[in-house]
A = this chain, B = another copy of it.
Amino acid sequence: MADDARTRLTRTAQELFAARGVSATSPRDVLTASGVGQGSLYHHFPTKHDLTLAAVGATVDEALTSAMHTLASDAPALERIVAYLGKPRDALAGCRVGRLTSDQAVMDDDGVHAVVGIYFTRLLDAVRRVLVEDGLADDVARDRAHTVVAVVQGGYVLARATGDPEALRAAVRGMTALLTTTDREASAA
């Protein structure tokens, strides 16, 4: 049952949301792009909220799985952080989850907003744990985890604003340099 109407609708919505955002995507757009009929859409998803929740939920699950995979490899802790920073990313497209943060349709919908919140809460916590494993104190690790995730999210913003994907790479390189330099210092101490 991988491609019944419901699944096709969810997947199409995920793609359109990633490309244009939730607010800018109408149920009609999803119908047209998925090839599913109107009666079908409103049968499976009575309101746009329902469709949005399903699509955003699926996207968050996928993104979280991918991030956790990188952060939980058997490499040394610092290398996992560097790997997370350096993941290949479509900079000009923006983060499929982070972008939702300035999408009015998402911010106005408590259920969907909560799902986006959970994504970052889990991601921040995973990064924090890796940093603790690397030897950092709890509070320092917490702050630094926020910094690491923020650099990626902000890198997307810079790339989209300037139209230059290199802006994200530069932000990540700068962060990686700071982390690996600090590490050397810590080892020397």
Contact = CB atoms under 8 A, between A and B. Distances in A.
A57 interface: no
Interface in A116-141: 116-117, 119-121, 124, 140
Interface string A86-121: 000000001001111111100100000100110111
A162 B115 CA distance: 10
Interface residues of A, number: 56
A152 interface: yes
Interface in A134-156: 140, 142-155
A63 interface: no
Given A99-B102, A170-B143, A124 B182 contact: no
Interface string A167-189: 11011111101110110010000
B150 A158 contact: yes
Contact of A161 (B120, B143, B151, B162): B120
A172 to B, nearest CB: 8
A140, A147, A160, A167: which has the most chain B beta carbons within 10 Å?
A: A147
A146 to B, nearest CB: 4
Interface stretch (A3-11, A20-28, A32-40, A72-80): A20-28
A41 interface: no
Interface of A: 20-21, 23-24, 94, 97-104, 107, 113, 116-117, 119-121, 124, 140, 142-155, 157-158, 160-163, 167-168, 170-175, 177-179, 181-182, 185
